Structure 1
Amino acid sequence: MNLADDPRFPQALELFNSGAWYEAHDAFEEIWHEQMDPDRKLIQAIVQIAVAHVHLERGNTRGATILLGEGIGRLKPSLPSALGLDLTALYTAVADRLNALQSDADPEVLPPPRLLAAE
């Protein structure tokens, strides 16, 4: 099944975009297990970004920093878009939050990453 046709995909997007990070992680991880590259690496990046935000919610800035960095690394080959998503916007939001963490600033003052439709 094409990922864009998978009914779980829009549900996972909704969870991510609403900031339900743990639930988004679970939803995307279920999808990730069934994918082949390059979609598999992209979904893994999204899972890592969601888990990074779970770490942020729990005050684990080190874990969040590591996972945001890994997520960006896996996201980069899919830029600017894939699966109908604007990955450049996602990359920018995640990179801004990662830079804030690396500068000992509060990443939560920045807009959260969102999975938006590519134009």
Structure 2
Amino acid sequence: MMEVIPKQFWEGVEQFNSGQFYACHDTLEALWMEASEPDKTFYQGVLQIAVGLYHFGNQNWRGAAILLGEGNNRLRRYPEVYSGIDVDELLDKSLTVLKTIQMAKPEELALLKLGEDENLPLPKIVRSA
């Protein structure tokens, strides 16, 4: 676990949690490019989930499923809490979105409203207590 969490990471978290997924990607990509492991893969997992949610908002279901899957696969390698983030919470909510996309019929996909249905909550990055 990193000792000093960069300010840009928390900016990316704020962008993510306010639904600014493309901006979050840009912020975390800059960190990801310069980071070393294990932080590098962690940043990449979070930014892939952000891009997956961005694709979801644009009804790019294939892109959303691919990026959500890749991001979740990367974050699964981390403990329950990493860098002050509740990883399990993020994984739980983003996997719900992924499974919903995978199981929905094509005609149902356009009706999905992320965060407006209790069965499809908007994933958030939650700080661990």
Q: How does 1:27-42 map to 2 (within 5 A)?
A: 27-42=27-42
User: Of the two, which has the highest radius of gyration?
Assistant: 2
Cα distance in 1 for residues equivalent to 2:90 and 2:74: 12
Unmatched runs of 5 consecutive residues or more in structure 2: none
Corresponding residue number in structure 2 for 1:90? 90
Larger proportion of helix:
1
Corresponding residue number in structure 1 for 2:26? 26
Which range moved further: 106-115 or 61-70? 106-115
Distance 1:62 1:107, change over 3 A: farther
CA-CA distance at 1:3 after TM superposition: 4.6
Corresponding residue number in structure 2 for 1:7? 7
Distance 1:83 1:23, change over 3 A: same
RMSD: 1.5
Distance 1:89 1:113, change over 3 A: same
Instruction: Name the TM-score, length of structure 1 as normaliser.
Output: 0.92
Following superposition, which runs of at least 4 residues in structure 1 exceed 6 angstroms of deviation?
none
Which range moved further: 24-33 or 105-114? 105-114
Identity, in percent, stands at: 35
Instruction: Name the TM-score, length of structure 2 as normaliser.
Output: 0.85
Aligned residues: 118
Corresponding residue number in structure 2 for 1:80? 80
Contact map agreement 1:90 1:114 (CA 8 A) in 2: yes
